Amino acid sequence: MTPPGRIDVRACDPAPSEDDLALATDLRLAVDRLSRRLRQVGGHHIPPLQRATLTTLARHGPLRQGQLARAEGVALPTMSRTVDALIRQGFATREIEVDDARARRVSLTPEGKASLAAAAACDVEVLRERLARLAPCMRRAITAAVPALEAMATDDVTGH
């Protein structure tokens, strides 16, 4: 059963329309602006790739740098610099792999977990304040769009 105010995306027609290009352009601009606004207004400043890496570690547990690089879609040297920065800040550690002494796993520290939680809480508060300023019909539109946005973010185009 679909919660009130939400759209059952399984019942939606997935056929593309002529307006998809315009919608995709508008959506990209809106998402970029909202993301930039969160970085500007938020009280917690963790660069985007560092934050994404912390989030991946929080979701999946310790990973090798190569796994992190693939997960974030960046080159291994870029991830290596990112992990180095996280370690300098006390947000992550590198540990020797039990089965392969040449390999290292990157782990989230309690400080990293706390920093990630603080950043998320700050973002939620900024978004809550901005939602409160919207007209009720706009809040309903955002509520209805969340399942579709989640499906796009996870490549689940079916909405399941």
Q: What number is the average pLDDT over the span 98-125?
A: 90
pLDDT of residue 4: 56
DSSP element (H, E) containing 100: none
pLDDT of residue 117: 93
Residue type, 95: E
Beta bridge partners of 64: 105
The mean of the pLDDT values for the chain is: 86
Residue 54 burial (C-beta neighbours within 10 Å; 0-12, 13-18, 19+) = buried
Tell me the C-alpha to C-alpha distance, in Å, between residue 99 and each of 54, 96, 103: 24, 9, 9
Residue type, 97: E
Which distant-in-sequence residues (6+ apart) come within 8 Å of 39 by Cβ? 45, 48
Report residue 13 as tokens. 């027609």
* 43-52, 78-87, 101-110, range with the lowest pLDDT: 43-52
pLDDT of residue 35: 86
